[in-house]
Amino acid sequence: RIEDHDRARCRRAFDAGLREDLEWLGFLPDGDVVRQSERDARYSEALARLAASGRVYACNCTRSQLRAETDVAPGEEPRYPGTCRDRGLPDEASSLRRVRLDAEDIPFVDLRRGACTQRPAEQCGDLLVRDRAGNWTYQFAVVVDDLDQGVDVVIRGEDLLASTGRQIQLAAMLGRTTPPRFLHHGLIRRPDGRKL
């Protein structure tokens, strides 16, 4: 799967380089290559399903507005404060869409760290699923893709650990009854602590 959901940042040259690296490591595709940039209709269908349950709303907040409204420490994840949640903006007011998250604990087992619990509504607030440019977000696209592709094990860097609870919650909203197993591995870092 090529996770090129952000059409402004992704280039076919990156795609070719990624496939070349994977082949060099001995990883070969086990089926047709799936590109998120070609799955707009499927993501729209999943969004419509969530909208039918009353969970989706339009939002026209800018990043600068949100930074001004929230006090976020350096390195801390910003939490959407729910500014547009009950405003009833018409769909044509913005292409940006959010999904209402329930205030609940999401327990899961990380195969490296053990038992974990996250509360996505407090971590990030209502989840952004489509941005101002009309791109589907990573959080939304991977959940739909994992569901469609029957992914049952997700191995990724520990920098994505905070995404786990919200992805499990979103997958359940879309009908997934058993979440995948997760393993979050350590990252290779520079001497100053930044990831390499």
Gyration radius of the chain over CA positions = 18
The residues that bridge with 181 in the sheet, in sequence order, are: 153
Q: Is the pTM of this model over 0.85?
A: yes
pLDDT band of residue 8 (cuts 50, 70, 90) is low
How would you class 162 by CB atoms within 10 Å of its CB: exposed for 0-12, middle for 13-18, buried for 19 or more?
middle
Residues paired with 167 in a beta bridge: none
* Calpha distance 30→173 (Å, rounded): 28
Please check whether residue 47 is in contact with residue 55, taking contact to mean a CB–CB distance below 8 angstroms: no
Q: What is the pLDDT of residue 7?
A: 64
Whole-number mean pLDDT of the chain?
91
pLDDT in tens, 45-95: 999 999 999 999 999 998 878 777 777 777 778 889 999 999 999 999 999
Better-predicted residue by pLDDT, 16 or 109:
109
DSSP state of 162: G
pLDDT at 42: 97
